[in-house]
Amino acid sequence: MLKLLIVEGNTKEGRDMAIAAGSQTQSDLYEKTLLWLRPDAQCMIVCPADADAILPKGADLEAFHGIIWTGSSLNIYEDDPAITRQIDFMKTCFEHNVKIFGSCWGLQVAVVAAGGKVVRNQKGREIGIARDIHTTEEGQTHPLYSGKTGPFDAVAVHLDHVEDLPVGATVLSGNDMSEVQALEIKYGNAIFWGVQYHPEFDLKYMAYILQKYKKMLVDENICADETAVDQLSADYNNMHNDKSRDDLRKRLKMRDDVIDPSVRLQEVSNWLEFVEHTVH
């Protein structure tokens, strides 16, 4: 049985907002995803953004077979204890013989904790679908992308991206919006695999994200107006509920790499296999 630690990237306020909106926290979504892939896994959630969080360390940390970091609405370059606490916890994780996976925020925290730099993307926000992600030469043979054909699309929402890589990092994929869409970091005693996109986000959760950022989508000229956001969110929900809708597939330019969970979650599944190979 896999014992997995899920690290929630959002503050209590952010988590409460998601629940109040009728959605779920990112850590709960990740737990649901992991249990879909490995029904017998045992998951524990921690929230290092919280000042009163009780976090495992030392032998307790190494008792987990793998650690998964979620996304977050925070910006890692801001001066905020909720952020620095998470960077410190990632540094603690790096000190131990553990395997780590991170989506979006998780990747950014790992980069900064290992000595790299994350900045606001001058090209703007990537939200909805990250298009035409290409694996690098290293990525083509890396187990993160085993069974994944490219170029591919992925569910995504981020404004920030990696500017400077830390020592021990290998870029595995990128696209026109961000040169680093996935990487591996070997730092300290740990091995980290991360993606800038969100394989764990299904289209229903992405519909919630679109509603959450409705005003921002209009202000940043990503959508013409709030009615357009509502329509896009509804289309995502409808596509989630009925994957046979060819009309929506064409209009939204969606393929199985974002619609079919067995394809969308390939990277997470590959990481779980990587972790399992070291479990005795």
Which string of DSSP letters, residue by residue, matches 147-203? T--SSEEEEEEESEEEEEPPTTEEEEEE-SS-S-SEEEEEETTEEEEEESS-TT--H
Please state, as a whole number, how many other Cβ atoms lie within 10 Å of the Cβ of residue 97. 11
Q: Where are the beta strands (DSSP E) in the chain?
A: 3-7, 42-46, 66-69, 99-103, 117-120, 126-135, 152-158, 160-164, 169-174, 182-187, 190-195
Q: Which residues does 279 contact at the CB level (< 8 Å), separation at least 6?
A: 2, 65
Q: Which residues does 102 contact at the CB level (< 8 Å), separation at least 6?
A: 68, 69, 108, 109, 110, 192, 193, 194, 195
Cis peptide before 56 (omega within 30 of 0): no
Contact indicator for 26, 240 with CB cutoff of 8 Å: no
Of the residues 43, 93, 104, 223, only one is catalytic, namely: 104
Q: Cα–Cα distances in Å, from 195 out to 55, 59, 230, 251?
A: 24, 27, 28, 26
Of the residues 96, 142, 161, 198, only one is catalytic, namely: 198
Specify the 3-state DSSP secondary structure of 204: helix
Per the annotation, the verdict on 65 as an active-site residue is no
Per the annotation, the verdict on 200 as an active-site residue is yes
Counting DSSP H helices and E strands in the chain, the numbers are: 13, 11
Per the annotation, the verdict on 277 as an active-site residue is no
Any idea which residues carry the catalytic annotation? 104, 198, 200
